[in-house]
Structure 1
Amino acid sequence: MLLACLLLSYGISCEATSRRKTIKAEDVALTPELVSKVAINKTVVITQGTFQSYDFVYNWVQHLAALNISQYLVAADDLKLVKALVKADIQCFLAAPPPSANQRHKPGRRNRRRQLEPGVDRASLISQISHMGFTVVFSDNDCVWQRQPFKYFAKFPHLDILVSSDLLTMHRGQRVKEELDPFAADLNTDFVMVRPTPAAQRFVDHWAAALQSTQSRPSRQSRQGAAAAHVRRRMLFSGLLRQGHEETFDLRGFSYKGWNGSVPFGVLPTEYWPSGRAFAGDYHEQLWGNRPFVAHVNYMGTRAQKRHMLREYGAWFEAWPQFYHHPGGYMLYEPNSLAHLLRRTLVAHEPDAKLRWKANLELLQHQWAQVTSAFAVAHALGRALILPRIWTGYRAFCNIEAAWARHPVHLPAFGLYHIANMERALPEQEYGPHIPFRDFAFLTRRGLPSTATFLWSTVDIQVCRPEDQPCSSRPVAAPLEDRSRETYLIPGNLTDEQLRQALEGLGSDKVLRFTGITHAFGGFVDPAATARFRRRLDLYHWPVTEHNMSGSWMGIWPNVVNQGEAAWPVLEHIPRSQRAATQP
């Protein structure tokens, strides 16, 4: 039993180990034979990750498979990821030998530094594979491949390196038939193509050696250390190419000779290789006029935020099947009263900008009031809440042209919700039971398993108030016969116990769709449950104030306060900077 637990902890089942021999580091090493086996036209696509990023690696691989790209390899930073990838039949190799027993129990500075600075390994990997005679396309595991880029690369055979950038401004159309961007921002080595030319090999070798020599003491905070390494890797790469670089231009766009004029390189256009806020998701084609080849969701917060955003955009393949099987079932609701609030945010020539800003805050606060009631109903019924789209009339796209002219727009969920806190396992005695949630695209996402029977069994729940007709004051669900879909009418302002009683006949195989969610919940019977729920909800939205409206990357944050429309109002939000030390 102990052995089985250990195997499962490494992502390997007993059945898998009976079919496969024990995986050793030397069996999954990077060799020319391995690269030759997967490469096509002497080109190989590489990504890198640890077991903590397995779901991102899995999503990356599935996007490549959807494009019929098979010439890829995953560089695993730990043996645990190797075992999980082998089990999933994903081509991989171990980027470095596993730590010794002493290092495993007592991680020293060297292990911590290597974990925090994958850029050192990245440069070394590109160097190793390049010296084997292969073209290397390195892509971070949070890149979303949407089109095959190889024909595009073939347009520039005279360039040894093609690399994405952090440029946010659209340059297309400024010059005739422009295909490449100017060297006007830091280069982003999270997507880079390196051809096996002597000049490129010498440059990558120097880049890797320079990274090794500039290592600093790792930060105690792993996130800060990783961020510092990421910035240092990019700045060093950009700085080396900027040394004595020369600009040229032809009908194929900008091109340069960097590193004292010895390495010809080009900067991939932002329209096709968007990075961070330049990737507008489902609005990208509308804004830029084309579909990107590869989109990189860097600078978009934590892994939880990136994951949820990609789910909303329909760009996520679930690595864990249990995501589609919540034992309590699912519920969603139809947002109401949004039309007039949306119209108020679209006054194009409003002389007082504060009125439009205020209208947008009212729009976001109105949506937060509804989702608060929905969380309470989901809490009472033990169901997972499928979040609705969030709409805004004021979304910051920095300096991307034409972004302000197309509103209202869909706001990624992490613009209003603190996704990491919503996923975190908080102590139940203080915050009440966890409330699972899903993205608004959950029911329509590709890759849904055939066993997801809830897709064909949605039930409408209409919430009425006592003054409405017909509306019973008894906490029961009255069926409505003259409907094309199974529909029930329930009174509003029910307690948690009354809600469970009214809907107890509807099983977890049915998705409950509520209308009039604002008036559905009247409060908890237990006052202690009320306090716990309010403490939980206080952590579910961004802690911002009127003087600090940049709590997330998208830049539009209201100070959420009580909404009188809600039957069960939300407590006034206290900014973190003003809370006592004992407050969450």
Structure 2
Amino acid sequence: NPLPYIARFPEADVLTSSDQVIPTITDDKLEKWQQVTGAYNIGIFHWRPTNASKNLAREWKDLLVANDKLWDQTGFNDLVHKVLGPSVEGENGLVYAFDGSLKLGILPASIFCSGHTFFVQSMPQQLRLEPYAVHTTFQYAGTEGKRHRLREAMFFYDEPEYYDSSGGFLSFKPSIPKALLLDGAHTLESHFSLVNYQLKQIRTALAIASLVNRTLVMPPLWCRLDRMWFGHPGILEGTLTRQPFLCPMDHIFEVNVMLKDLPEEEFGSKIDFREYSFLQNPRLPKQVKESFLEVQLCDKQSSWCDPNNQTYGGAIRFPKHSTQEMITKLFSIHKDVKVVEFSSMMDAFEGFSDKERETKFRNRIKRYVGIWCCVMNHDPGHIYYDMYWDEKPDWKPNPPMTREDDHPPW
């Protein structure tokens, strides 16, 4: 409930959130208005029905009615910046704005969070503060990307059927070598090496999910570099972004494309997926939580490996480099199990025997990944992720050299 917080500033006519990504305070006071460089964001604000706020509302409305091409947030910022300063008397953090009589406060981005301060910087956790709200800004993949971020944070309310897919779920334990995650400098090369290593495992998981018609629970994704719309040195200087950091799925994947109904004759069947936090969500029903099978990968030659798919204490031992037929057989035997989790996706699947199916699958998942942005002082500065990077021996994380080269790798 933010009302007790708002009540701490009874003199404020308007309290607004902002796109500030560099903290100006480390507690729960209002931002220091003199240091705020980000736009004021109208996604979260509070108005008191004072004469000053009514005058602002009236002028804002008139401005937008007169120019239907003007973005409402730009209009708001233009008006409140007509006068900005001095500070209101006292230690309240308010500033005179608009016409010089409006008392304005800027809500702290650490507890009235943007999509960057919450999902990338984890600012509330780092400053040990309890956030009131998060606004899904600084994100990609449209509305679908916003919704997915909220699902990752377990903030989105889905209907019960979302948590109990008829075909069941497939998950896996991702494997990342310590050197890829932690060693060396944070560069384009080390970032893409880390992401590509994860993409290869996800590619295998998507293939298996497509074969057995299960919903894939995505793994958490790790990044070394932030993603923006403009050139930057890797992370935004002055922010609390850690390296590496758990990055939102829309930093790498085109979530909106993954959810599209693409023509099956060209792209094969749709592959449903869920957010990485799905199996930890308290809304997950008991019948899903308790129906679980672990698939432990093993070497075919090992005496420990069991080709007969017998269960041992809720787990089976399954050979690496399994064929399409072996995968299909495994899941047909255990079709009633709700959650099947692989101990790893490394070398889990040898490949499709049905080449037509493989072609459609490749067409589909090539479109699943997006771009990293952006290299400084280079136009264009973005670099395309490539789901099949490992099939190109000379692949390097370089931006397009010409406009003709500026296209996805398909």
SS at match of 1:292: coil
User: Counterpart of 2:257 in 1: which secondary structure?
Assistant: helix
Taking structure 1 as the reference length, the TM-score comes to 0.61
Higher alpha-carbon deviation: 332-341 or 528-537: 332-341
**CA deviation map 1:6-34 (0-9, x unaligned):** xxxxxxxxxxxxxxxxxxxxxxxxxxxxx
Matches of 2:333 and 2:399, distance apart in 1: 40
The answer for the alignment partner of 2:160 in structure 1 is 321
CA 517–246 in structure 1, closer or farther in 2 if over 3 Å, else same: closer
Aligned to 1:262: 101
1:537 corresponds in structure 2 to 365
- Which residue in the other structure is 1:197 paired with? 50
1:373 to 193, 204, 209: 204
**Which residue identity lines up with residue 152 of structure 2 in the other structure?**
E
Contact kept in structure 2, 1:181 and 1:270, CA below 8 Å: no
Contact 2:118 2:124 in 1 (8 A): no
SS in 2 for 1:518: coil
The partner residue of 2:191 within 360, 367, 376 is 360
Say if 1:180 and 1:252, in contact at 8 Å, map to a contact too: no
Local SS of the residue matching 1:156 = coil
Distance 1:323 1:266, change over 3 A: same
- Does 2:219 match 1:388? yes
1:9-20 residue pairs with structure 2 within 5 A? none
Residues in 1 aligned to 2:119 and 2:271: alpha-carbon distance in whole angstroms = 29
Residue 557 of structure 1: how far off its partner (Å): 6.8
Please tell me whether residue 334 in structure 1 is matched to residue 334 in structure 2: no
Match of 2:311 in 1: 479
Corresponding position of 2:272: 436
Q: 1:362, 1:442 → 2: CA distance? A: 26
Question: 8 Å contact 1:161–1:194 — kept in the other structure?
Answer: yes
Provide Cα deviations, 1:263-320, integer angstroms capped at 9, x if missing partner: 22222122222223222368232333312222211231211111111111121111x3
SS in 2 for 1:513: strand
Task: Specify the alignment match of 1:308 in structure 2.
Answer: 148
Shift of 1:211: 0.7
> Counterpart of 1:203 in structure 2: which amino acid?
L
Compute the displacement of 1:171 (Å): 0.8
**Count of paired positions:** 391
Q: Distance in 2 between matches of 1:324 and 1:577?
A: 44
* Structure 2 counterparts to residues 508-523 of structure 1, below 5 A: 508-523=336-351
Q: Which of 294, 303, 309 is the aligned partner of 1:460?
A: 294
Confirm whether residue 166 of structure 1 aligns to residue 19 of structure 2.
yes
Deviations 1:463-506 (A, max 9, x none): 2233444335x5x42333xxxx4111122222222211133221
Counterpart check, 1:245 vs 2:72: no
What is the identity percentage for the equivalent residue pairs of Structure 1 and Structure 2? 23
1:399 aligns with 2:252: no
* Distance in 2 between residues matched to 1:334 and 1:245, nearest whole Å: 52
Instruction: Give the structure with the higher percent helix.
Output: 1
* 1:561 Cα offset (Å): 4.4
Task: Tell me the CA shift for residue 197 of structure 1.
Answer: 1.4
Per-residue deviation, 1:421: 1.1
Residues in 2 aligned to 1:335 and 1:304: alpha-carbon distance in whole angstroms = 24
CA contact (8 A) 1:546 1:559 kept: no
Other-structure match for 1:409: 245
State the match for 2:333 in structure 1.
505
Q: TM-score, normalised by structure 2?
A: 0.85
1:559 and 1:338 map into 2 onto residues whose CA distance is 21
**Secondary structure, in 3 states, of the residue corresponding to 1:210?**
helix
Structure 1 counterpart of 2:295, which letter?
A: I
Q: 1:390 to 1:242 in 2, by over 3 A?
A: same
2:106 aligned with 1:274, yes or no? no
Alignment partner of 1:211 is 2:50: no
Query: Aligned-pair distance for 1:177?
Result: 9.1
- Counterpart residue identity of residue 281, structure 2: R
What is the CA distance between 1:535 and its match in structure 2?
0.8
Does the 8 A contact of 2:154 with 2:281 survive in 1? Answer: yes
Question: Equivalent residue of 2:166, what SS?
Answer: coil
Instruction: Map Cα deviations across residues 342-389 of structure 1 (whole Å, 9 max, x no partner).
Output: 232xx4xx5xx6xx5423321211111011111111111111111111
Q: Distance in 1 between matches of 2:177 and 2:332?
A: 31
Distance 1:245 1:546 in 2: 33
SS, match of residue 113 in structure 2: coil
Residue 179 (structure 1) aligns with: 30
